[in-house]
Amino acid sequence: MAKVLTIGEILVEIIATERGNGFRAPVPLIGPFPSGAPAIFIDQVGKLGQACAMISRVGDDDFGHVNLERLKADGVDISGIEVDPQGTTGSAFVRYREDGSRAFVFNIRHSACGTIALREATQTLLDECTHIHVMGSSLYAPSVVDSILAAITAIKAKGGTVSFDPNLRAEILDSPGMREALNTVLAKTDVFLPSGEELFLFADAKTEDEAVAKLLATGIKAIVLKRGAAGATYFDADNRMSHPGFAVDEVDPTGAGDSFGATFVTFWLNGAAPLDALRFANASGARAVMMSGPMEGASTRAELEAFIAEKEATA
Ligand code: ATP
Ligand code: MG
């Protein structure tokens, strides 16, 4: 039986309810919402009923507990999430601009999850887990990078698998050691989940086909390219197939890619045909953008099935 692990940031997201440029004047806010790319990912994995766990750190404050309670309620093993009595849980304030782009104020590196170490409690998880998912955004601090690389080595050594979503923001691409860490993770990756232009970050190529061919030649088993509202495309050595996105009203795009990835990986690990995995992953991403708050649109399998049936009936 597969068990999925992720390691990285846990934070709350606090969202400005009016569009505009950043936070240099008071604006109405809504939140805290449980967040952090790997947390959103693992919450969606748990909601699908797949065994899963997260290694991270939060402070002993309401922002920490709002995350712990949500992850636990959705089926995530939280035994590897340390509660630091001296720490403060991470946070992100986000405001959408009129053009749909986002301004952020982050407190991650100096929050409780700025340091994550593998300890006795987490060793048990490394023994149990058969798959690890890595978010590029989680490579924000040396202790976290070390923990992720050690976990990849442990899981791969016993025949496990790795998925990787570069999930890069311009703000973090310049962090010291980031590029090397990304390359190290990619070299161990079985399922690669880039979004749009991220495909070209790791392959010097002019076209999508060339980039895909170069990446598959490095030993990656499958590439899933996310295309926002247009859906996604799956590539492996023998196949290439696309599934269109489901038409929905986009309320809040944050978390779409993470939910998509979680659903794709869960179906892939359970032996689903690639087109089925794509269909369910697209449904998961579409449902995520319909809801305000990054983790609020997480779906059960029954919800995905009902959503797909309804959309396909009216198509
Ligand atoms: P994120 O902003 O969460 O990091 P991403 O850039 O990694 O997202 P996207 O390609 O934006 O990934 O979205 C992931 C998936 O979610 C898409 O492949 C699609 O299935 C679904 N999706 C995203 N936006 C929409 C939308 N407006 N309508 C329908 N489906 C969507
Ligand atoms: Mg993303």
Residue 49 has a CB neighbour count (10 Å cut-off) of 13
CATH number of 3-313: 3.40.1190.20
Phi, psi of 270 (to 5 degrees): -95, 15
pLDDT at 121: 83
CA nearest ligand 1 atom 27, residue? 229
Provide the whole-model pTM. Answer: 0.97
Give tens-digit pLDDT for 278-287.
999 999 999 9
pLDDT tens digits for 267-279? 999 999 999 999 9
Q: Report residue 77: phi and psi, to 5°.
A: -70, 115
pLDDT the model gives residue 170: 61
- Nearest ligand, CA 226: 1
By alpha-carbon position, which residue is closest to atom 10 of ligand 1? 228
Write the CA distances from 120 to 20, 79, 193, integer angstroms. 46, 11, 31
Going from the Cα of 194 to the center of ligand 2, the distance in angstroms, rounded, reads: 8
Average pLDDT by consecutive 10-residue portion of the chain (315 residues)?
96 96 97 98 98 98 98 98 97 94 93 94 94 95 94 97 89 76 96 95 94 97 98 97 97 94 98 98 98 95 98 90
Sheet holding 11-16, edge to edge: 29-35, 11-16, 90-96, 102-107
What is the DSSP secondary structure assignment for residue 245, as one 8-state letter? P
Q: What is the pLDDT of residue 120?
A: 85
Nearest CA to ligand 1 atom 23: 228
Residue nearest to atom 20 of ligand 1 (CA): 282
- The pLDDT value given to residue 1: 84
Identify which of 137, 225, 226 to mutate to test ligand 1's pocket (most ligand atoms within 8 A of the CB): 226
- Nearest-10 crossing angle of helices 62-73, 37-47: 30
For 31, 55, 78, 125, the CA distances from 35, given in Å and listed in that order, are 11, 14, 15, 22
- Spatial separation of the C-alpha atoms in residues 297 and 288, rounded to whole Å: 4
Nearest CA to ligand 1 atom 25: 229
Joined together, the tokens standing for residue 163 give 């998925």
Q: How many CB atoms lie within 10 A of CB 214?
A: 14
Most ligand 1 atoms within 8 A of CB, residue of 35, 289, 299, 308 to mutate: 289
Closest CA to 145 of 187, 117, 110: 117
Q: Encoding tokens for residue 194?
A: 């880039």
Task: Among 167, 260, 278, name the best residue to mutate to test ligand 1's pocket (greatest count of ligand atoms within 8 A of Cβ).
Answer: 260
Q: Give domain limits for the chain.
A: 3-313
**Which ligand has the nearest atom to the CA of 135?**
2
Report the nearest atom of ligand 1 relative to the CA of 282.
Answer: 20
Residues 6+ apart with CB under 8 A from 180: none
Cα–Cα distance measured from residue 184 to residue 206, given in angstroms and rounded to the nearest whole number:
23
What Rg do the C-alpha atoms of the chain give, in angstroms? 18
Q: Ligand 1 mean position to 30 CA, how many Å?
A: 22
CA of 168 to the centre of ligand 2 (A): 7
What number does the ligand 1 atom closest to the CA of 232 have?
18
Q: What DSSP letter does each residue of 254-289 carry, written as one string? A: TTHHHHHHHHHHHHHHTT--HHHHHHHHHHHHHHHH
Q: Are strands 52-59 and 29-35 parallel, antiparallel or unpaired?
A: unpaired
Ligand 1 is surrounded, with C-beta below 6 A, by: 167, 195, 226-229, 231-232, 245-246, 248, 250, 253-258, 260, 282, 285-286, 289
Nearest to 62 by CA among 12, 7, 106: 12
Mutate to test the pocket of ligand 1, among 195, 198, 233, 250 (most ligand atoms within 8 A of CB): 195
Answer whether 41's CB lies under 8 Å from 7's CB: no
Q: What number does the ligand 1 atom closest to the CA of 294 have? A: 3
Per-residue pLDDT at 172? 65
Distance, CA of 225 to CA of 199 (rounded, Å): 7
**Cβ-proximal residues to 167 (8 Å cutoff; 6+ apart), any chain:** 37, 135, 136, 137, 195, 198, 257, 258
Nearest ligand (C-alpha, residue 283): 1
CB 113 within 8 A of CB 107: no
DSSP, residue by residue, 19-81: -SS-SSS---EEEEEEE-HHHHHHHHHHHTT--EEEEEEEESSHHHHHHHHHHHHTT-B-TTE
Q: In this structure, which residue's CA is closest to atom 21 in ligand 1?
A: 285
The DSSP bridge pattern shows strands 131-135 and 4-7 to be parallel
